[in-house]
Amino acid sequence: MDARHRNTQLIKAEADRLGFLSCGISEATFLREEAPRLEAWLKNNMHGEMAYMENHFDKRLDPRKLVPGAKSVISLLYNYYPTTKQREDSYKISKYAYGEDYHNVIKAKLRSLHGFIQQEIGEVHGRVFVDSAPVLDKAWAARSGLGWIGKHSNLLTKEVGSFYFIAELILDLELDYDGPVTDHCGTCTACLDACPTGAIVQPYVVDGSRCISYFTIELKNEFPSDLGANFDDWVFGCDICQDVCPWNRFSKPHREPAFEPNAALLQNDRREWEELTEEVFKRVFQKSAVKRTKFSGLKRNISYVKSSGTEGSG
């Protein structure tokens, strides 16, 4: 067994031991196919007020600009599908935000993986990324054979659907590279048909500025007066396109203690959410990604959903 193959097997075995669903590896090169897609998406203002998406265009497409001398992009998936969900008569929070902020949980595991690599293989330089840097996570995961990008623009796998986080470890180490898998969306249009705001404007193209997740998390100002959208009770994020996807019938509950939700998140009904105080907000979402929208943002979202008369439609 040559060193390159041995190192690849070592890394994948350790990723499995650390609890990652799967691990795929791609050569760190320029993402030629994604460049025109990203350019068109930005040109059509599908990023709305997410001005940061315009930054570091070149770095998003070439990992060697993020990590000098980069040879490999290791893509990893980490499950967050919950065992228990919120009650039916509640305002909804995206399942990825039930527990502790995933950035902290997964970054710690990535650093452990990098430490293992340096211990077992030698002086290997690299950086870890979890959805907070100019890296096209889904493109790299698809290129590494971890799944295909579905019509809702999320990564999909036949084995476990799409309820998982995507992370990367970019290294200056040559490894064995995986190849992409085929698309298995077929003629299904469940996600396009179900999106209440019409954010999936065509198969594989999502207008981020029309997505419920954008409105409830990214939009810092008041909602546009002409929005008139049915948010279907979602007040932080949205899982509709994933919930209706046939491949997610294969989702399996995660085993990560840090992702277990605060009891109030599961037990609160609409009235209790409407009466939420800042003190309770801080306690329930102390370590959660929901903190990103702040107490005022969550109250704004709840007020909008309530006043627009959309509650109870899901």
Q: Which residues pair with 128 in a beta bridge?
A: 169
Residue 60 annotated as binding site: yes
Residue 23 annotated as lining a ligand binding site? no
Burial (Cβ within 10 Å: 0-12, 13-18, ≥19) of residue 179 = exposed
Which tokens hold the place of 47?
Answer: 């990023």
> How would you write the pLDDT of the chain (314 residues) with one tens digit per residue?
699 999 999 999 999 999 999 999 999 998 887 766 766 666 666 656 555 555 556 778 889 988 999 999 999 999 999 999 999 999 999 999 999 999 999 999 999 999 999 999 999 999 999 987 778 899 999 999 999 999 999 999 999 999 999 999 999 999 999 999 999 999 999 999 999 999 999 999 999 888 999 999 988 887 877 676 789 999 999 999 999 999 999 999 999 999 999 999 999 999 999 999 999 999 999 999 999 999 999 999 999 999 876 444 44
131 is catalytic: yes
C-alpha span between 130 and 1 (Å, rounded): 32
Instruction: Report the pLDDT value the prediction gives residue 311, as an integer from 0 to 100.
Output: 46
CA distance 122 to 219: 45
Give exposure, 243-273, as e/b (b: 16+ Cβ within 10 Å).
Answer: ebbebbeebeebebeebbbbeebeebebeeb
- The pLDDT value given to residue 241: 97
| Catalytic member of 2, 16, 131, 193 | 131
- 239 labelled binding-site residue: yes
Tokens for 254? Answer: 């995660």
The span from the first CA to the last CA of the chain, in angstroms, equals 55
Q: Who's near 112: CB < 8 A, 6+ residues apart? A: 18
Residue 298's pLDDT is what? Answer: 96
